[in-house]
Amino acid sequence: MEKNCSARTLRTLITGIGGLVFLFACEMAKGGTSQAAKPSQSPQSSQTPPGDLTQVSIENLMNMEISSASKKEQRISRTAAAVFVLTQEDIRRSGMTTLPDVLRLVPGLEVAQINANNWAVTSRGFNGRFADKLLVLIDGRSLYSPEFAGVFWQVQDLMLEDIDRIEVICGPGATLWGANAVTGVVNILTKKAKDTPGGLFTAGGGIQERGFTGARYGAPHGDKLDYRLYGNYFDRGEFQNVAGRAAGDNWDGVRSGFRIDAQTTSKDSLILEGDIYRDAANSQNHVATFTPPFNTTPLTQTTSLGGDVLGRWTRTYSPLSEFSLQMYYDSLSRDDVVVNADLHVFDIDFQDHLSRGPRHDFIWGGNYRTTTDSVSAIGSVSLSPASLRTNLASIFLQDEIVIVPNRLWFTPGIRFEHSPFTGLNVEPSGRLLWSVSKNQSLWVSAAQADRTPQRFERGLHDITAVIPGPGGSLTSVDLLGSPSAGDEQMLDFEAGYRAQVTKLVSVDLSTFYDHYKDLQTREPGSPFFLANPVPHVVVPLFYANEMHGTGYGGEFSIAWKPAVFWKLDAGYSFLHQVFQLNPGSQDPSSLLSAGDSPRNQFQLRSQFNLPHRTEFDTSVFCVGRLPDQSVPAYTRFDLRLGWHPLESLDFDLIGQNLLAPSHLEFLNNTGLVPSYVTRGAFVRLTWRISH
């Protein structure tokens, strides 16, 4: 309910959803009463209740969590953390086309688009292009960059139709997921190959989404193995620059991949999956040079070429105990105007889940990751040394203890992690869940999570600006890595409540109080003289950890199914953070940027099934202003009209950002020139060919 939820929003909404909904609702109410207890041979053609699950295999039905009004899986009701789950249905009906945009649907996540192909995504503050306290994984593969921290959202253009669900935890998840899962964890899980048999073809285009296409084919091979292959391509249009003209930041990408699921024995299952992709994205970046005009913002192309392959073996000993071993290799070569960076990650991970007696449910595991990178400076950014291999190792143990059966659980856990630059991190957590009744639970938790320094904090040399002085002398402001850059730490206390109020309404509330210490700052050092590439004086800023602070806030979500054909989701989040520099620190800029998040965010989504196999979905996102960046509050309004004339065919008409011709979401601080997000509208065709 930020300031920007304007009268215009109201008008659009009421005339849009309201009118249609009301008419249809009256109709349904009439039909509903006359239908009662009367023998009826044929289904009501005017009604297409959601959730035809007959195409789901019986085995998968058995794995499905039974929910009522809430789309959330019921096992969430046993998790003592702020968890939110997005389903494939939520994703499909949102009309969103990129992974970061899909995350807007999660209350508490802060998603801001910087330009057409860059996003800033975080949870509970500290946003930025390289927001470094949110850990994101796809099927257990970490997307967190060990070179620059954060996620390159640009290259995460997987086929959204392949996603089974996205589980998001706001708050620390370091005990289970490791360092850098400080303020949140996003876990993207793709569908099993068994669940994607047959062919799928999508294509569409319009304004902003200039053209996209995707194809998938899945089939069983024998009775123990299923596979799928996919390929997709997109071409997205440009946003507007500050002058209201085309910003030139259009981009395109192509991606292909596979997933194989095999049940080798009754106890063993294997997963093998991989992707290969290439993206070319245009953007304007600040570049500092020692020749006039010194500081420019050229429009250049960033190309990314990457691939990954992941294998996982799971052995199930009993319904309550299993062992899994996972390995992946991930490679990304990214060339932009200032730096060419190559990255190779090899990761091996095992987890053992076992119940001991009626009271203990242990999960423990270990992880080893080796990262090799090489960075060649072509512009003003370099890393020292230019190539480095680092290793990370960790072990963790968590036990879910039943204190009172079916009532009270206590889950202590701890992780020991040896990070490449700062050595041992200890990340403990304790969570207590009280199941007040069958339908409601209360939880509290305390946890510590660390963000460990990545490559750039130790070895960066970034010439951020060159200032010409009298007599041809040159001074540059350089951001430098420092051997003393250390861990950032957060101590987190949370409490939450969730309830299935009726069969049709569920609510989830989480609140937190955080204490941060040793937060990253950039401290000025004594100027020095450098002879290369031209003689100049360097005013250095060194990475340090000279800030601390506190924060509190909460997330609230409510899911409501007013009728069989209608689902509503609303979410609200609040965040307030206060930071202070340690005595001796001389970096006021970090003080401002660290706390620069919207205080209030609100969203309302409606999924409505209309007669004649049509769906009408709308969503509103109200995002508060960013005070330090002077980015005003904005309201995003999206609309989707879906029609599926045949079981195998869907047509969608999608409008995005419909309220204003353009708006700004983020002014970043990483050398990228931001653009104004513009309206988009496109059509999408989805054709399923059954196997």
Partner 1 sequence: MPRLPSMMKRSTKIKARRGSRRDPACSLFLMFLLVFQLNLIANSTAEEYSVKAAFLFHFAQFVEWPPETFKDSGSPLLYCTIGEDPFHGVLDASLNGKTIGARSLQVRHVTQPSELQACHVVFLAEKEKKLFPVILELLKGNSVLIVGESGHFVQEGGTIGFCLEENKMRFEINLEAAQKARLKISSRLLALAKTVVGSPRGI
The footprint of partner 1 on residues 66-85 (CB under 8 A) is 66-69, 73-75, 77
Site for partner 1 in 550-589 (CB under 8 A): 561-564, 566, 568, 570, 589
Residues, the chain: 691
Which among 283, 368, 269 has a CA at the least distance from the CA of 322? 269
- Closer residue to partner 1 in complex, CB, 99/463: 463
Distance of closest approach, residue 205 Cβ to partner 1, in angstroms: 30
| 509 binding partner 1? (CB under 8 A) | no
What is the C-alpha separation between 403 and 511, in angstroms, rounded? 24
462 and 478 Cβ atoms separated by less than 8 Å: yes
**Contact letters (x/-) for partner 1, 339-358, by CB under 8 A?**
x-x-----------------
Closest CA to 572 of 556, 551, 553, 559: 556
CB nearer partner 1, residue 258 or residue 565: 565
Angle formed at CA 428 by CA 425 and CA 430, multiple of 5 degrees: 170
> How far apart are CB 111 and partner 1 at their closest, in Å?
18
Among 604, 639, 654, 677, binds partner 1 (CB under 8 A): 604
- Beta-sheet pairing, 536-563 with 505-524: antiparallel
Q: Which stretch binds partner 1 (CB under 8 A): 11-19, 106-114, 249-257, 544-552?
A: 11-19
Under 8 Å between Cβ of 666 and 626? yes
**Shortest distance, CB of residue 368 to partner 1, whole angstroms?**
27
Q: What is the DSSP letter of 632?
A: P
> Does residue 310 contact residue 273 with C-beta atoms inside 8 Å?
yes
Judged by CB under 8 A, the chain residues 14 through 33 that form the site for partner 1 are: 14, 18, 22, 25, 28-29, 32
Distance between CA atoms of residues 104 and 165, nearest Å: 14
Is residue 154 a contact residue for partner 1 (CB under 8 A)? no
Apex 434 CA angle, 433 and 435, nearest 5? 120
C-alpha dist (Å) from residue 92 to 160, 163, 185, 615: 8, 10, 22, 11
CB of 570 to partner 1, least distance (A): 7
- Which of positions 113-132 make contact with partner 1 (CB under 8 A)? 128, 130
Q: Any contact of residue 649 with partner 1 (CB under 8 A)? A: no
Q: Which of residues 200-229 bind partner 1 (CB under 8 A)?
A: none
- Based on the shown chain and the rule CB under 8 A, indicate whether residue 602 belongs to the binding site for partner 1: yes
Instruction: Write the binding mask 253 to 272 for partner 1: x where contact by CB under 8 A, - elsewhere.
Output: --------------------
Site for partner 1 in 362-381 (CB under 8 A): 381
Q: Give every CB contact of residue 623 below 8 A, 6+ residues apart in sequence.
A: 2, 4, 110, 112, 598, 601, 633, 634, 635, 636, 665
The Cα 10–Cα 290 span in angstroms is 53
**Torsion-angle region of 164 (φ positive above 0: left; ψ -120 to 50: alpha; else: beta):** alpha
Distances in Å between the Cα of 191 and the Cα atoms of 53, 243, 382, 392 are: 15, 44, 40, 29
Q: Is 247 in the site for partner 1 (CB under 8 A)?
A: no
The reply to whether 34 sits near partner 1 by the rule CB under 8 A is no
Residue whose CB is less far from partner 1, 227 or 542: 542
What span, in angstroms and rounded, lies between the C-alpha atoms of 599 and 620?
17
C-alpha span between 288 and 292 (Å, rounded): 10
Tokens 């340090």, located at residue: 544
Q: Is 677 in the site for partner 1 (CB under 8 A)?
A: no
Which residues 323-342 are close enough to bind partner 1 by CB under 8 A?
336, 338-339, 341
User: Which residue number, 235 or 628, has a Cβ lying nearer to partner 1?
Assistant: 628
According to CB under 8 A, which one of 127, 326, 351, 590 is a site residue for partner 1? 590
Decide whether 399 or 628 has the Cβ nearer to partner 1.
628
Q: Report CA torsion sign: 131, 132, 136, 141.
A: positive
For partner 1, the closer CB: 424 or 646: 646
Smaller CB distance to partner 1: residue 68 or 289?
A: 68
Closest to 406 in 3D by CA, of 358, 357, 446: 358
Nearest to 345 by CA among 420, 407, 409: 420
Contact segment (CB under 8 A) with partner 1 among 60-68, 250-258, 307-315, 419-427 equals 60-68
- Judged by CB under 8 A, the residue of 15, 19, 23, 35 near partner 1 is 35
Query: Partners of 166 in the beta sheet?
Result: 86, 188
User: In this chain, which of 429, 664, 665, 680 binds partner 1, going by CB under 8 A?
Assistant: 664
Q: How far apart are CA 399 and CA 242, in angstroms?
A: 54
Least distance in Å: CB of 532 to partner 1?
Answer: 20
**285-314 positions binding partner 1, by CB under 8 A:** 286, 295, 297
Q: Name residue 515's amino acid.
A: H
Q: Which is nearer to partner 1, 5 or 446 (CB)?
A: 5
Residue count, binding to partner 1 (CB under 8 A): 109
Burial of 460 (0-12, 13-18, 19+ CB in 10 A): buried
Query: Using the rule CB under 8 A, is 41 a contact of partner 1?
Result: yes
Least CB distance from residue 334 to partner 1, whole Å?
9
* Residues 407-466 contacting partner 1, CB under 8 A: 456, 460, 462, 464-465
Minimum gap (Å) between residue 143 Cβ and partner 1: 16
Minimum distance between the CB of residue 183 and partner 1, rounded to whole angstroms?
18
Q: How many other C-beta atoms are found inside a 10 Å radius of the C-beta of residue 588?
A: 10
Shortest spacing between CB 118 and partner 1, in angstroms: 11
Residues in 606-625 at the binding interface with partner 1, rule: CB under 8 A: 620, 622, 625
Least Å from the CB of residue 79 to partner 1: 13
Q: β-strand 184-190 against 134-138: which pairing, if any?
A: parallel
One character per residue 158-197, x = contact with partner 1 (rule: CB under 8 A): ----------------------------------------
458, 481 in Cβ contact below 8 A? yes
**Looking at this protein, which amino acid is placed at residue 488?**
E
Cβ proximity to partner 1, 533 vs 588, nearer residue: 588
Range 464-483, binding partner 1 (CB under 8 A) = 464-465, 477, 479
